[in-house]
């Protein structure tokens, strides 16, 4: 991205805490630290993959970006304009710029509406089109995502899982967004259907220049579609780097462990591979210092007390690990 070009989206220091109900015994209200200081930017036409174990805060980040969950702290900017402090009425015009594709293609579509009405709903809400113009636009969207216009009168239960996700993508494309948040958009699909949807997203990006935040736990899928990848652990980004470097030379021990966990056809290919032990600590009470130190095989005394900063590397990536610090001159993200 040229230095003078404003990113489509910038998130800085995003925080999301959920307060639980106070015990009848009283005392301090427990707080779940779902997201705790996440920062990144996405350029036009770029795909940023966001990966991590279940419960690390990936989906919460995506929901904050599109206004489905208000952040506790930090800032969100779309094309340079801050949106996290806007009320629903003021945020509404920005829904043209950023859209969302949900994880479950079975529950994200209204079963009482026809497929054509589902895709047309954003147009009815935002575009002053006649019924004929709206129908023509919906027909074009159906063709664009690989569906036939004659399927517009069908209901969601008449489509396969892959076709339903195509409907979700068509609905997200209806207003011509510049960024689409894909929250585990292919995880509920068969492998062959996953490939079809991923190829569709890639083709749409090439054709329309749309950017994606692609949230997933399948590293093979992320490697295929992403330009850069951010790795989250317990509410924080621990590494962010160009795809090629991250998959060939991970710098954070957690990223290394995730890549080691990818299944291999030959069970004897990596007899000494690193297997993560223990469970992810509770976000109610995250560990002091580095949050990964309870499971890290390289842990040092410093890791238990001092939280590492996400610092820039020379290759365009960032990592939060004391092992990678050469001096104190690295700029923070």
Over the stretch 64-77, which tens digit does the pLDDT of each residue have?
A: 999 999 999 999 99
pLDDT over 90 (residue 104): no
Using CA atoms, how far residue 213 sits from 198, 202, 289, in Å, is: 13, 13, 29
Please answer whether residues 144 and 206 qualify as being in contact, where contact means their C-beta atoms are separated by less than 8 angstroms: no
Please give the pLDDT value at position 27: 67
CA separation for the pair 179, 213 (Å, rounded): 7
Domain 44-67+83-226 has CATH 3.30.420.40: no
Q: What DSSP string runs through 84-121?
A: TT--HHHHGGGGGTEEEE-S-TTTSS-TTS-HHHHHHH
CA atoms within 13 A of residue 280's CA, in its CB half-sphere: 16
Using CA atoms, how far residue 42 sits from 12, 26, 183, 247, in Å, is: 12, 44, 16, 20
Give me the chain's average pLDDT, please.
89
Cα 196 to its chain centre, rounded Å, is 20
Better-scored residue on pLDDT, 25 or 143: 143
Please give the pLDDT value at position 310: 92
For 109-147, how does the pLDDT look when each residue is reduced to its tens digit (9 = 90+)? Answer: 999 999 999 999 999 999 899 999 999 999 999 999 999
Residues of the chain with pLDDT > 70, as a percent, come to: 92
Please give the pLDDT value at position 187: 86
Q: What token pair was written down for 156?
A: 């969601």
Longest dimension (CA), the chain: 68
- Band (pLDDT 50/70/90 cuts) for residue 23 is low
CA atoms within 13 A of residue 161's CA, in its CB half-sphere: 14
For 240-267, how does the pLDDT look when each residue is reduced to its tens digit (9 = 90+)? Answer: 999 999 999 999 999 999 998 877 776 6
Please answer whether residues 185 and 165 qualify as being in contact, where contact means their C-beta atoms are separated by less than 8 angstroms: yes
Beta bridge partners of 76: 11
Strands, sheet with 9-19, edge to edge from the N-terminal-most edge strand: 31-42, 9-19, 73-78, 81-82
Domain ranges of the chain: 44-67+83-226
CA separation for the pair 93, 76 (Å, rounded): 15
Those residues whose C-beta lies under 8 Å from the C-beta of residue 328, and which sit 6 or more positions away, are none
**Cα R_g (the chain), whole angstroms:** 21
């Amino acid at each position: 991205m040229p230095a003078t070009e404003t990113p489509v989206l910038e998130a800085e220091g995003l925080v999301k805490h959920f307060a639980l109900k106070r015990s009848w015994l009283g005392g301090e209200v427990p707080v779940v630290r779902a997201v705790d200081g996440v920062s990144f930017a996405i350029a036009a036409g770029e795909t940023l993959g966001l990966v991590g174990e279940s419960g690390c805060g990936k989906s919460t980040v995506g929901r904050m970006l599109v206004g489905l969950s208000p952040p506790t702290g930090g800032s969100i900017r779309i094309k340079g304009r801050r949106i996290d402090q806007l009320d629903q009425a003021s945020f509404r015009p920005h829904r043209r710029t950023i859209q969302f594709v949900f994880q479950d293609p079975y529950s994200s579509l209204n079963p009482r509406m026809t497929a054509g009405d589902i895709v047309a709903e954003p147009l009815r809400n935002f575009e002053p089109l006649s019924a004929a113009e709206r129908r023509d636009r919906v027909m074009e969207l159906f063709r664009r995502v690989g569906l036939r216009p004659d399927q517009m009168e069908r209901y969601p239960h008449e489509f396969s899982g892959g076709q339903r996700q195509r409907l979700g993508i068509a609905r997200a494309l209806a207003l011509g967004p510049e960024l689409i948040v894909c929250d585990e958009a292919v995880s509920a699909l068969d492998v062959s259907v996953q490939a079809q949807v991923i190829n569709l997203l890639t083709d749409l990006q090439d054709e329309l220049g749309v950017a994606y935040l692609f949230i997933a736990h399948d590293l093979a899928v992320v490697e295929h579609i992403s330009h850069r990848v951010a790795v989250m652990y317990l509410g924080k980004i621990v590494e962010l780097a160009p795809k090629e470097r991250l998959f060939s030379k991970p710098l954070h021990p957690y990223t290394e462990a995730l890549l080691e966990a990818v299944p291999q056809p030959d069970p004897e290919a990596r007899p000494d591979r690193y297997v993560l032990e223990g469970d992810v600590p509770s976000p109610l009470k995250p560990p002091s210092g580095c949050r990964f130190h309870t499971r890290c095989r390289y842990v040092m005394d410093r890791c238990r007390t001092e939280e590492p900063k996400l610092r820039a590397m020379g290759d365009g990536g960032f990592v939060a690990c004391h092992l990678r610090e050469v001096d104190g001159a690295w700029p923070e993200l």
